[in-house]
Amino acid sequence: MDQKLPPLPMQSLTDHQLAEKAMEVRRWIVRMCHAAQSGHPGGSLGLADIFTVLYLDILRIRPHASDWEDRDRLILSNAHVSPVRYASMKMAGFFPDIDLLSFRKFGSPLQGHPSTRYLPEVENSGGSLGQGLSVAVGLALGLRIQKKSCRVFVSMSDGECGEGMTWEAITAAVHHKAPVIAFLDHNGIQIDGKTKDVCDLGDLADKFQSFGWGLLRTDGHNISEIRRIFQEAMATMSENEVTVPQMILFDTIPGKGVSYMENDYRWHGKAPNDELTEQALEELQFS
């Protein structure tokens, strides 16, 4: 492996440029789910701005040497939003020879839920909700023992906070002072309906803080705010003498940018047909 390769981010894109890239990611999400006639477009569209900022501005990574030992790690707990991760990674320069439209096809490494068996460029295999934070906490503690300076991020959903394992990891992270930056897709829906109706989680911000986490919150569709809050979380982690794990609540709109999908839980896990795909692509124009 060439240790002289520079890590990303190295592009210094403006907010406007990142917003344009995020729109391109959204268009790919729609195309991928349409081509597969399956997948989870709602949450993926809602996370497009956040993942674009992560892969093009925040994460220290080497797309052409994805096993670089000092890379930042991104764990995907809400693994059903794989389209947004694949599209963002592709844009950042990962797996140039893989066609995004092979998503969910037999023999494709782009599984519906990411798998390290088929795609070693991802950090974890996913599927069962509620496990990602535990993976991230364990990984962060292991890297600390190895005296690595790389950072560990974990993407979570609000719906999976109904899983007990999540709260065990939240407790363990504080007890062990795990250097983890978690961020939550706070969109208020899941596959069966509104989260408050399926299992009312109450005020998640208050709950995370009551467990001892640092809590930050912002609009998950405001590029400058997304950049700022990730920087704030990283600075807080490095400045404190005692490590306090950080939780970012991103308020997002599921199906963001596609009028018939926005805030409609029925698009959590359903692909658009030909006509609706054309409508979505028409609406997803950057201005």
Which residues partner with 190 through β-bridges? 193
Rounded CA gap, 237 and 9, in Å?
20
Domains of the chain, earliest start first: 15-283 (3.40.50.970)
Give the orientation angle of helix 82-92 with respect to helix 15-36, to 10 degrees.
130
Whether 3 shows a pLDDT value over 50: the answer reads no
Read off the tokens for 12: 């210094």
**Per-residue pLDDT at 5:** 43
Q: Considering only residues 219 and 192, tell me which one the structure prediction assigns the higher pLDDT.
A: 219
Tokens 């535990």 belong to residue = 134
Average pLDDT of the chain is 92
Q: How much is the pTM?
A: 0.94
**Per-residue pLDDT at 128:** 79
Rounded CA gap, 275 and 264, in Å?
18
For the segment 13-46, what is each residue's pLDDT rounded down to a tens digit?
A: 999 999 999 999 999 999 999 999 999 999 999 9
Nearest Cα to 39, choosing from 189, 191, 194, 163?
Answer: 191
Q: What is the DSSP pairing of strand 189-190 with strand 193-194?
A: antiparallel
Q: How confident is the model at residue 4 (pLDDT cuts 50, 70, 90)?
A: very low
For the segment 109-161, what is each residue's pLDDT rounded down to a tens digit?
A: 999 999 999 999 999 998 778 789 999 999 999 999 999 989 999 999 998 88
Q: Find the mean pLDDT for residues 207-212.
A: 95
| CA atoms in the 13 A half-sphere facing the CB of 211 | 22
For the segment 214-269, what is each residue's pLDDT rounded down to a tens digit?
A: 999 999 999 999 999 999 999 987 666 678 999 999 999 999 999 999 999 999 99
Residue 86 CA to its chain's centroid (Å): 10
Q: How confident is the model at residue 11 (pLDDT cuts 50, 70, 90)?
A: low
3-state secondary structure of 70: coil
